[in-house]
Structures are given as C-alpha cells and as structure tokens.
Structure 1
Amino acid sequence: MAKPKRYAVILAAGKGTRMKSKLYKVLHPVMGRPMVQHVIEQLNPMNLDKMITIAGHGAEKVAEHIGNESEMVLQEDQLGTGHAVLQAEKLLKNEDGTTIVVCGDTPLITSETYQALFDYHEQQGAKATILTAKAPNPTGYGRVIRNDRNEVERIVEHKDAKDTELLVDEINTGTYCFDNKELFEALQHVSNDNVQGEYYLPDVIEILQSRDEKVSAFQTSDFEETLGINDRVALAHAEKTLKKRINEKHMRNGVTLIDPDNTYISPDVIIEQDVLIQPGSIIKGKTSIKAGAEIGPHSEIDHCYVGEGAIIKQSVAKNSHLGDRVQIGPYSHIRPEASIGDEAKIGNFVEVKKSSLGDRSKVSHLSYIGDAEVGSNVNIGCGTITVNYDGKNKYMTTVEDDAFIGCNSNLVAPVTIGEGSYVAAGSTITKDVPGNALSIARARQANKEGYASRIRNQKKE
C-alpha cells in the first residue's frame, strides 16, 4: 500500500501585538534563529510533498528568511485561523493525503512529535487528529473532552467550560492533522458568527464530528514543547527551554559543559567529543569545533572552524579558521576572514582581521594584524601594527617564514618582510626587507646631558 502524501500549512500571519515590537512576530529569534525557521526545520524530516506558509504582516521579510524552503501564500486580511488555512486552498484542495496545520510561533515542537502525530493520525484512519498535552495549569486553554471510549467528544474553550470541564487538564495545543480533502470541504462551512467575527479552525472539528467522522487526539508527553510565543516573557522561556535541549544533546554526545545554564550554543553548531566549554561562552552560527578543544570562559565564537586541541580564552572570533592546537587569548579579537595556522598563538589584546597566520607563528600581545599574509614560525613582537589603510584603500602586508618583528614596529603596507629577516624594535618599515636582512628604521638616539634639569627649573620660574 502506497504511503499517503503529506502536506503542511504553517500559520504565520498574525501581527503579534503583545510582542510590542516592529519586528514581525514569527521572525523573533529563538537561539539565534527566527521561530518560524525552527518550525520549518522540524517539519523538513517529514519528507512533505508540499509545505505552505501563510503570511500576512511583514510577508516580504518572512519570504526573505524562508527562501525556497516553503511556498508562501499571503493572507491579506487576518480573519482567523480557519480563513488563514483557506488561503492554501488553490494549492491543496484537490490533493489526497494528510495535512498538518501548525502555528509559526511554536518553535519548540520537535520532528519526533510531528512524526508521531502523522503516524497516529494515519493509523487511526481519522479525518482529524488534535495534538494535545497535559497542562500543569490549563487556565486559558481549550479543554479536550473525551467520551467513555476515550474518543474526542468536543473541544471546549476555557470561557465556555463548565466547572467539571475546567478540571480537565488535557488541552488543545493548536496543532492538527487532517484528511486534506475533508479539511478544505469543511472549511467552506465554517461560520464567523462569533464575537470576533472570525473564522476559527477548531470549528472544523465540530463540523466533522457532526458528520460522525472520526476525530482522534494524540497526547504528547512534553507540554512545554507545545507552547506558543505571544510575548517577550514566553520568548525568553522558549530560549531557555531550547538552550537546555541543545546543551543536553551535546553533553550526551561527549561534550563537557562546566555550567550549562550559562553556556549558549546555537542549533547549527557541531561539536566533537571531549571538547570542554567553560562558563559564559557563546557559540553561534555554523561553527564546527574539533575534539579536545577548550572554549572559554567568556568566549564568543561565531561561524568558525575550531581545530583539534585549540584553546580560546576570553576572546571573540567570527567567520574565521582556527587551526589545530592554536592558543587564542585572553582578550583577543579574531575578525572575519582570518586563518590561524596550527600551533599558532594569538595572545592578549591582539586583533587579527582578514589575515592569514602560518603554523607555529606568534603574535603574543597588544598588536593589530590586518590585511596580512604571515608565514610560518614568525614572531611578531608586542605593539606591532600592520598599517593597512590610507583613508581610502586597504593594502597587503606580507611577512615570510621565520621572520622576526621587533616590538613596537609599524609595517606600512604595501610591504614585504623577507624570509628569515629581522626588523628592529621601534622601526617604521616603508620599504621591502630582503630575506635574512636586519632592518632598522628609527631616528638616531641623541642624549643631551643635563637638559632635563633645565626644563624642571624653567617650570619653577
């Protein structure tokens, strides 16, 4: 028997006034990713035949974020959840199969839950299946009322519930599976005869039940994952929940987090076994950290490759490649497009930008390396600056293998420091230095005996 086709409709048209924000509701980030993006990514493993996002306010911005991952339909007038689903009618009406309807502001529902809901719905042969959960405090939620055979009898909104029904703690989460054709046929009969004058999706459940069609309910064991984000308080709660979920996954995979409550790891990060992450660390984007590395305390890594055994302390690195057994920090700043070779050292208060540093090279403290190609086994002394910018254009500095740059040197680009050469401390280098040469570019020292006393006496007068 062929597997039924599967579709998804994501409801993402609400303005989200309780967020009190100019940013469109479903674009508010959770762990660095828009909440609607979490929904899409958790639905992707379902191998859907079609995914449709219903957008309204800020539709252009939503389209920018979801790209080609989902088709998008505009709901010009927000007339309720039933009306929102009806916007997908042209794309889905005549299709056989199962359609899941989810809210774009529920970023915590996992692919495992979606899969279980689909499977249960199809196994039951139901026309509709409600995703339910046991709520610790069901106040405000619609209650799922079951009959003696444990079948769904009706959904009662909190304001309409009787005293006995208010005692029920199984709630409607707002996520459903439907027989696709039955869904769009029933939507034609949904009325807006209510206080809000809107078309509500749960009315489809009543319509199907009035026709003696089977309506089932699948209860997830985790109430928290079904939470919708309606304000900043809920947003913070979702952030905390997802952070805990991600951190626990890494710890179970062999990563040591000294203080998980104060460690932030975004969903796309890949971390190998025996990595140690100290408190206060933030690891974002598509970062990859190899085995045995140590991050933190208080380091921020964003879109970086971090090699095996690397150590990064109290530092910031973004869009860069950090090799095996490098030592970064404390208080270093690795800016975009930097490449730090194996066993290299970037010490305290060093900034590296759009530069490569070869294997075993050192920039130990208080230096700026920008727009530079530095070879292997190079020592760059304290206070060295690559002078790369003339106010209009950027220029390259090249330091070849085994060179030694003395402290407080200025390398005025474009310039090349040859292999094995020495630059004397305090030099301002404006011309190329040949290999194995010693370059001294500083004023001759002159000592004027007794001059300091004359200056002090003048100040007293």
Structure 2
Amino acid sequence: MSNRYAIILAAGQGTRMKSKLYKVLHQVCGKPMIRHVVDEASQTQFSKIYVIVGHGADAVKACIGTDAECLLQEQQLGTAHAVRQAAERLAGLDGTTVVLYGDTPLITHETIEKLIDFQEQNHAAAAVLTARIGDPSGYGRIIRDGSGNLAKIVEDKDATPEEKKVLEINTGIYSFDNRKLFSLLGKVENNNAQGEYYLPDVIGLLVQASERVLAYQTEHFEETVGVNDRLQLASAEKYMRTRVNRHHMRQGVTLIDPESTYLSAECTIGADTVIYPGTVISGQTHIGGGCTIGPHTRIRNCEIGEETVVEQSVLEDSWVGSHVQIGPFAHIRPLSKIHDQAKIGNFVEVKKSEIGEGSKASHLTYLGDAVLGKDVNMGCGTITVNYDGKNKFTTHIGDGAFIGCNANLVAPVTIGDGAFVAAGSTITESVNADALAIARSRQVNKENYALKLNYRTNK
C-alpha cells in the first residue's frame, strides 16, 4: 500500500554484547538481526524503508544493500532524535510511519501489518504495540482510559504501586500518522538523566493534544523482545529456530528431532526430505524433495537435487545433483559439482572438482582440481596430486575410466576415456583412451633377507 513508511533504528553500538561486531550484525539462525527486520518490513509493502545507522554505519549499509535507504545519526541522542534523521524525507507527507528496531529480529510482517491496520482503520494519531506478560518488571506500563484508549505510558521506575500491577507493557514499536509524528518530534525535550530525546514522549504529546492514541496488544510478546546481550541472543536464536523448523515441517519436511536440528532462516527444503538429528544447514542452501540428510551433517550454501543421501558429512558452497550418495564422513569443499547418481563415499574429500554422472569414489580418496567424466571408478586411496608447492593443476579423467587403488595422478595429466590405471601407479604422463597404464617398480623378493635385518624382538 502507498503512503506507508518504515523507520528502523539501528545506530547503537551494543556495548553489552561485548563484541567487536556491531549489535545489529549479530546473527540469528544464520542471518544478521538487521536483515531479519528489513526482510520482514519488505513484505509489508512500505513505500520506503529507512534505516538509521550510526556505529558501524559502513558495515550495516553493506549488509542492507539496496533494500533500504540508510540515514546517518552522527550522535546517538535518543530514539526521538534518531527518528528525526528522516525528517528531510518524510516531514509533511501524508501517510503512516512505523518505527521498528534493528535488534528485534523476531518481529514478523504479519504483526507489523496488524498494527498499521489497527491504527489506520480507527483513524488514530498513533498506535502502540503492546503485550501482556506475567512479569512486567522493567517495562513501561500501558495505562488505558475508560474507553480503552491509551491514556499514558508510565516507566517502571515512575509507576505507582497500583500502576506496577498492570501487566500490559510497551514494546516500543509504534505506528504514527506521519504528519503528526514529525510535527511533534521537535517538541520532545531531553529533561532526563541521560540527556536524550525519547520517542515515547511523542505519545505523551499526542495525548496532551487530545489526539486519539490506541494500544494494540499482540499475542506474541516474543516477537518484540530486543537483543542486548548474548543471553538474549541465544533466546532469540532458540525462538527463531523453532519458528523456522515448524515452517519446514508444515511444508512436508520430516525433522526426526527438531530440537537438535539447526536450519538457516534462508534455506529451502523440498517435501518428503528427512533430516536426522545433529544436522546444521546454513546460508543459502536449497535441498530438493525426497532427500535424506544426516545425522550429524553440516551443509552450507549448497544446492542439492532430488532423492540424494548425505550422511555424516560436510558440504560447502557446492552443487550436488539428484540420486547422489555422499558419506559417511565425506567432505565436499567449495566450488565442487557432483552430478546425478554419483557416489562420494566414506573419508573422501572433494575440492573444486566436477564429478560426472554415475562416477564413484567410494572411500579414502582425495579429488582436488579434478574433472571426472561419466561412470568413472576411483579406487580406494587414490589421490589427484594437484599442488606443486606454488601452483594448482587440473586432472582430467574421461568417461568410463578405471583408476586402481592407491594411485597417484600427478597433475596436469589426462586419463582418456575407458583407460585403466593399475593399482599402486604414480601417473605423471597422460594416458590415451582404452590404454592400460602401469607405473610402479617391479617387485623383488630376497629369500631369508629379513633375518639379517634383526628387527624382531627375542622372546
């Protein structure tokens, strides 16, 4: 809808996080907190989204990209002062402005939309998002008048004993009539111990001016909780993980033990995929339907096709086709591509390599900078020797080639289609198609020579 604007406050340093990383850049389920808020706001169809930045402005801007316009608050003088940074863009415009926070990653676009609709449909000057909690200690209390409208917000330290009994609290999220918001921001004073300009004072000014101010109570208090330290970060992570896992289960994914399964907020998983305990799927990972993943598997920024099995393995920044078998205990390193019906077995490491359709490396093999064709068999203990101490080189293996156990393929080298490399060979020259390559010393047996070595222990 047009004439709706969002201002996200994200200028704080977050000293209680005890971190070099700026607070809003700390991740929840693999995504920075500020990105969670921007992404949810983007689903609310705002005409414009502004992010107020301060500490770590360049890093926060880089995280947001072009999804919102960043405005710099050079001095952090309070929430009202932060909102005023958007005055040049918004003051004098008709419409609705919602104030959000970059450290509330659990907020959803559904809750934002309900708050806006509640304010607009009731033609109110402002609506405060509130929640009812069992222990409101430390929160500002919502005091309503006889009509149910908001009469005032009382901070915990200023509340009377009777007001302290009120369980409805201020979450700090607001929806304003845009013109009225910016007409009053300049009247907010900083007569407080911190010498800062506080946004809730605008609510008080509206009430004093006999404007209609409403309180919209959400049923999801957890969505509104800010993250100020590592304990709250862990709580947000747990809540978000539950939300993400439930979403996937509702879409037809089986999680054997959701509490021990960690899914990125950005991953996608097809129906009928089964994920076993101890699995961590992070980043922009996309998994097709009917797969079996885990247990104890880590997948980051990978694309995986249909009905693939990945067992007790690590996959990073790679592409995997359909009907592939990986693991147990395999490591697929970045920039690898594994085609349909391939097999990467136990204790096999693949680095920046392409494994053709139906090819197999069943166990104890290193494939680095290799290109394998279709239906290649890599014997146990085979190594593509890709590094000479200065440069990396590529090994090319043609369709249907058979590489015997314990072979070293010293790159750059090409093994032709249908070629056969004998077990124990060290190949330094290319092998033509359908040729047999043997590169090992002739065995010599010296009878009774072991007795002269005197290595046996006398008993």
**What whole-Å deviation, never above 9, does each CA across 1:280-337 have from its counterpart, x for those lacking one?**
0011111111111000000011111111110000101011111111110011000111
* Structure-2 residue corresponding to 1:312: 310
Partner of 1:361: 359
Instruction: State the alpha-carbon separation in 1 of the partners of residues 258 and 176 from structure 2.
Output: 40
Whole-angstrom distance in 1 between the partners of 2:30 and 2:260:
16
Q: In the alignment, which of 266, 284, 287 is matched to residue 286 of structure 1? A: 284
TM-score (norm 1): 0.98
Partner of 1:407: 405
Show CA shifts across 1:79-121 (max 9, x none): 1111111111111112211000011110001110011111111
The answer to whether the aligner puts 1:72 opposite 2:70 as a matched pair is yes
Alpha-carbon distance in 1 for matches of 2:356, 2:21: 44
Partners of 2:284 and 2:165 in 1: CA distance: 46
Partner of 2:26: 28
Alignment equivalent of 1:347, drawn from 341, 345, 348? 345
Residues 449 and 273 (structure 1 numbering): CA distance in 2 closer, same or farther, change over 3 Å?
Answer: same
Residue identity opposite 1:403 in structure 2: A
The Cα offsets for residues 127-179 of structure 1, whole Å up to 9 and x where unpaired, read as 11101111221110001111111111100000011111111111110100111
Alignment of 1:137 onto 2:135: yes
Partner of residue 205 from structure 2, selected from 185, 207, 222: 207
SS at match of 2:182: helix
Aligned positions of 1:184-333 closer than 5 A: 184-333=182-331
Q: Tell me which amino acid in the other structure corresponds to 1:234.
A: Q
Distance 1:356 1:242 in 2: 36
Deviation at 1:458, TM superposition (A): 9.8
Judged with a 3 Å threshold, the aligned counterparts in structure 2 of structure 1 residues 377 and 186 are, in CA distance, closer, same or farther, namely: same
- Distance in 2 (alpha carbons) for counterparts of 1:121 and 1:240: 31
**Shift of residue 459, structure 1, vs aligned partner:** 8.9
Name the SS for the 1:386 alignment partner.
strand
**Among candidates 403, 424, 434, match of residue 432 of structure 2:** 434
User: Which residue is equivalent to 2:46?
Assistant: 48
Per-residue CA deviations over 1:348-407 (Å, capped at 9, x if unaligned) read: 111001111111111011111011110111110011000111112111111111111001
Query: Unaligned stretches of 5+ in structure 1?
Result: none
* Counterpart code for 2:86: A
* 1:4 and 1:98 in contact (8 A); partners too: no
Aligned 8 A contact 1:258 1:279 in 2: yes
User: What are the within-5 Å matches in structure 2 for residues 416-455 of structure 1?
Assistant: 416-455=414-453
Matched, 1:12 2:10: yes
Q: 2:127, 2:188 → 1: CA distance?
A: 18
Q: Which AA in structure 1 matches 2:387?
A: Y
Question: Using the alignment, how far apart are the partners of 1:99 and 1:362 within structure 2?
Answer: 59
Structure 2 equivalent of residue 123 of structure 1: 121
Give me the whole-angstrom Cα distance separating, in 2, the residues matched to 1:426 and 1:34. 50
- 1:405–1:457 Cα change, 3 Å: closer
**Identity of aligned pairs, percent?**
57
**1:122 partner SS:** helix
In structure 2, the gaps of 5 or more residues are none
> Are the aligned partners of 1:350 and 1:368 in contact in 2 as well (CA < 8 Å)?
yes
Q: Is the 8 A contact 2:2 2:47 kept in 1?
A: no
Kept in 2, the 8 Å contact 1:4–1:96? The answer is no
Looking at structure 2, the residues matched to 25 and 313 of structure 1 have their Cα atoms a distance apart, in angstroms, of 36
- For 1:339 and 1:74, the matched residues in 2 are separated by 43
Over 3 Å counting, the alpha-carbon distance change for 1:87 and 1:457 in structure 2 is closer
Deviation at 1:343, TM superposition (A): 1.2
Q: Residue 153 of structure 2 aligns to which amino acid in structure 1?
A: I
2:111 is aligned with 1:92: no
- Paired amino acid for 2:221: F
Q: State the match for 2:59 in structure 1.
A: 61
Q: Give distance in 2, aligned partners of 1:154 and 1:71.
A: 33
| Aligned amino acid, residue 209 of structure 1 | V
Contact 1:276–1:295 (CA under 8 A) maintained in structure 2: yes
Please identify runs of 4+ aligned residues in structure 1 that moved more than 3 A. 457-460
Amino acid at match of 1:179: D
Amino acid at match of 1:312: V
Residue 309 of structure 1: SS of its match in structure 2?
coil
Matched AA of 2:301: H
How much has 1:15 moved relative to structure 2? Answer: 1.5
TM-score, with length taken from structure 2: 0.98
* Residue 372 (structure 1) aligned with residue 370 (structure 2): yes
Amino acid at match of 2:258: P
The 5-angstrom pairing of residues 94-113 of structure 1 reads: 94-113=92-111
Structure 2 distance, partners of 1:445, 1:53, is: 74
CA distance in 1, matches of 2:19, 2:398: 52
- 2:43 and 2:12 mapped to 1: Cα distance? 26
SS in 1 for 2:9: strand
Task: Classify 1:195/1:377 alpha carbon distance in 2 versus 1 (closer, same or farther; 3 Å).
Answer: same
Q: Is the 8 A contact 1:356 1:372 kept in 2?
A: yes
Partner residue of 1:165?
163
Secondary structure in 1 matching 2:112:
helix
CA drift at 1:250: 0.6
- Counterpart contact for 2:363–2:381, Cα < 8 Å: yes
| Contact 2:2/2:46, CA 8 A, preserved across alignment | no
**Whole-angstrom CA distance in 1 between matches of 2:8 and 2:423:** 64
The residue matched to 1:138 in structure 2 has which SS? coil
SS in 2 for 1:46: coil
RMSD of aligned alpha carbons = 1.2
State the match for 1:337 in structure 2: 335
2:43 alignment partner, SS class: helix
